[in-house]
A and B are shown apart, each in its own frame.
Chain A
């Protein structure tokens, strides 16, 4: 007799059925934004598969369509591909493939950020970013620019070859290869179109050449009047240490009196502040981070001890480059250094690569995933690096429209013109339409509403342009002259190219399109009357007119984003929002003082902890507090600052007080520029450069020193300086306690390298840094900007390069290469960059993996 099996009770079966149904549901369907659990946890196809792809196979044989000859890619011990190909198109195809392999999600995210289709990838919360992207019209402009390229143009051919490589990878991807972020978002990569490279350059244009300065100035003018605004935000920086050498051996101080503030219109300023805020998240997203994971994390992560303090505006930017002639170098070879500063992200904006085509290309540099050639690098003969010029290439025009609520026409020279209407439908992940926006455009560009007026923008970046061929020319240059010729066609965003070659020549040139405005509107820093066509741009500067120097007598060239030309040399308008030249002053000081420069000295200069700014403000604080009675806070603070050597190093304690005092000084001095926004603390509409603050320091009795909150008292400069020092002391004590270990600069200032989606677990917080306001490596207050790449090159008989960036080659968070270089970057050290002439020059122990590409059938 067969025993009767024990049966499950109906309740057990019902429970099992319910649990199974629930498990299958959350396993297969995205719930509340979480990825489907089954697909995620699947050990074969899910997230665990990242372990199998974290380390590439030692050797792989792969195919790319349209490859003309086989390509050999050797990855060295730092994960850098050395690509040996038979043609430039083939080397670019292979680069597209390895970019996609290592950075596919980054490429997808940056493309969608420009296209305004982020919501389709990350969800509805990206809708405001998409709306802003569509309103900016970057993708439409990039598309137009790409479509203008001739079918036979080199740029189109290389962008297409690059797309071949990217799409070959996407087509060959197994489920295990899908990047982590796609899994979290339950998404798949889209096919890569050649014009996406143009999208990337448009994005760089927005990061580096976007300005709403006129709108900010307009708001400031509403508060304090035109004359004061012109002085607070001058076209020419009051401290002149220009990029183009002017024969001076030190900075020149062109102090002028700053007119007192006039009564203003607070309501207008508040509207301007709101417009600025509405774009802040978009600008951040276009700089690299699309914060979809934790929108409030910015308040929590790595913001240092003084997150609530508004920084002086010239703290965050900080790219540098310089070149030294052989006669000032210890080994008698030209030297070059460069450290472009950008938003820090994981994975990094950069990807190192070495591209070799026999007899026509041999370049090592940092590439942008999404683009086929390095914007910064070196060859066997020449090296170059760039900093942002920051020229004014965006003008705003107040338009006369037929209807202030729903305009359809605008007026130019007395005639009505039809506004172009661009309808933008923004879709969600599931395909439904989230929003349909209508963007109005004049012949200048998109219109936006600022308060009670309609303002259109003429912006160089939306002209559409080719940035591939100039960089191909740079990569094929045999000397500085050839590099200068090749980069003449470089359009935007304008860059200060510093270069050096093996023949011992050095050069710099601020290169890009610089608009020539009409006589009536020679400056572009103010809102222009859109009803006059005479206010439109007329033509461009010629390359001969660009700020430049070739083998200057001083024996070096350098740039640090400062004003390119001394107005006494060339008074024409190029821009106005120039950072104070503190970094340039320090770099030039070090270079002038050393006639035996070595690569290692160049490396140390890149993280030099001295701020030139300190030499001017520190004595002012100490002097103002000289008469303080003993044992008062003022006396203790002054005593502490007196003992400081001005170096912004991690162990230092005085720097915390100094920075807080400077911040307090700016807040108390520029209180006329602050407006009270409902429900919040007073906020400054804009902040003059610290060089302007120093200019004001020369006038102890200026009305600007008067504290608006004490109408019965007329304060003088030293009153405000003393009050700032005391307030800074009290604030630091309140946050960090009495002077002690907690006051370490290193505890207050650090880098925050955030993941592209802002996911804390994939980010690196509290990365120690050296430097601070005004130093060569100016760490920003919230830590999310910094040196995105540091490079030193010696152009001797054999070119040698060293470099590092704050990240790693792989975008796979499980890979050892994800943040591999971060520790060295933090320590200020550089890796030796391997630069083999032939594939077989890379020894077996140095080659970590290899791919052999052949043409696809």
Chain B
């Protein structure tokens, strides 16, 4: 079960990385799609949120391989008047937040549509 969840999270993370390659706004769209597709799954939103954070963390890791990510964090942290670690937290939190919220909203919408269809309404 755990392995399956991990594998699923990994696949979703990769999909979210691909979405982010388009632009940041593609992430909540992808998360919403995932939430809709897994509307019957109780852990779908959590997976989406976690995968959103992981996707951006992976992209940051890629940046770090190429260049001085720490310097960027220091620079932006200086401008925002927060510590560099706060910039990482802010970035990953933002990704997690838009992913989980988008998944919850999409899942609820699908369920609402499904229950209305089932009731013949």
Contacts and interface: CB of A to CB of B under 8 A. Distances in A.
Interface string A26-64: 011000000001111111111111111111000000000
A61 to B, nearest CB: 19
Interface stretch (A11-19, A536-544, A737-745): A11-19
Judged by DSSP, the binding face of B is helix
B21 A44 contact: yes
Contacts of B68: 51, 54-55, 814-816
A20 interface: yes
A734 interface: no
Contacts of B101: 16-17, 19-20, 23
A180 interface: yes
A157 interface: no
B36 interface: no
Contacts of B45: 8
Interface stretch (A599-607, A614-622, A686-694, A756-764): A756-764
Interface residues of B, number: 42
Contacts of A504: none
A568 interface: no
A306 to B, nearest CB: 28
A24 interface: yes
B25 A27 contact: yes
Given A51-B66, A52-B67, A44 B25 contact: no
Contacts of B111: 5, 7
Nearest to B40: A5
A6 interface: yes
A52 B66 contact: yes
A184 interface: yes
Interface in B98-121: 98, 100-102, 104-105, 107-108, 111
Contact of B71 (A8, A759, A814): A814
Contacts of B108: 7-8, 13, 16
Contact of A38 (B24, B41, B76, B105): B24
B57 to A, nearest CB: 8
B63 to A, nearest CB: 5
Contact of A19 (B39, B40, B69, B97): B97
Which residue of B20, B68, B75, B95 has the most chain A CB atoms within 10 A of its CB atom? Answer: B75
A752 to B, nearest CB: 16
Contacts of A2: 40
Given A39-B24, A43-B91, A51 B105 contact: no
Q: For the side of the interface on A, what is the size category?
A: 35 or more
B20 to A, nearest CB: 5
Interface in B60-105: 60, 63-64, 66-69, 71-72, 75-79, 81, 90-91, 94-95, 97-98, 100-102, 104-105
Contact of A41 (B24, B71, B107): B24
B78 A760 contact: yes
A41 B67 contact: no
Contacts of A512: none
A45 B19 CA distance: 12
B79 A8 contact: no
A116 interface: no
Interface string A812-844: 011110000000000000000000000000000
A47 B72 contact: yes
Contact of B91 (A48, A54, A761): A48
Given A46-B24, A48-B69, A16 B100 contact: yes
A51 B91 contact: no
A27 B102 CA distance: 14
B107 A8 contact: yes
B42 interface: yes
A437 to B, nearest CB: 33
Contacts of A6: 42
B110 to A, nearest CB: 11
A486 B68 CA distance: 45
B56 interface: yes
B72 A50 contact: yes
Nearest to A39: B24
Interface in A42-94: 42-55
A13 B101 CA distance: 8
A814 B28 contact: no
A154 to B, nearest CB: 40
A761 B105 contact: no
A815 B98 CA distance: 31
Given A52-B66, A762-B75, A17 B24 contact: no
B50 to A, nearest CB: 15
A184 to B, nearest CB: 7
A51 B63 contact: yes
A761 B78 contact: yes
Given A24-B28, A45-B23, A814 B97 contact: no
Nearest to A4: B40
A42 B100 CA distance: 17
A23 B98 contact: yes
B63 A43 contact: yes
Given A8-B104, A43-B20, A813 B75 contact: yes
Contact of B20 (A5, A42, A50): A42
Contact of B25 (A12, A13, A24, A55): A24
Interface string B10-50: 00000000001101110010000000000111100100000
Interface of B: 20-21, 23-25, 28, 39-42, 45, 56, 59-60, 63-64, 66-69, 71-72, 75-79, 81, 90-91, 94-95, 97-98, 100-102, 104-105, 107-108, 111
Given A51-B63, A759-B79, A761-B75, 5 more contacts: A27-B24, A43-B59, A44-B21, A47-B76, A761-B81
The 9 closest A-B pairs by CB, nearest first: A761-B78, A51-B67, A43-B59, A20-B101, A42-B24, A16-B104, A38-B24, A814-B71, A16-B101
9 contacts: A23-B94, A38-B98, A43-B56, A43-B59, A48-B59, A48-B63, A52-B67, A54-B71, A814-B75
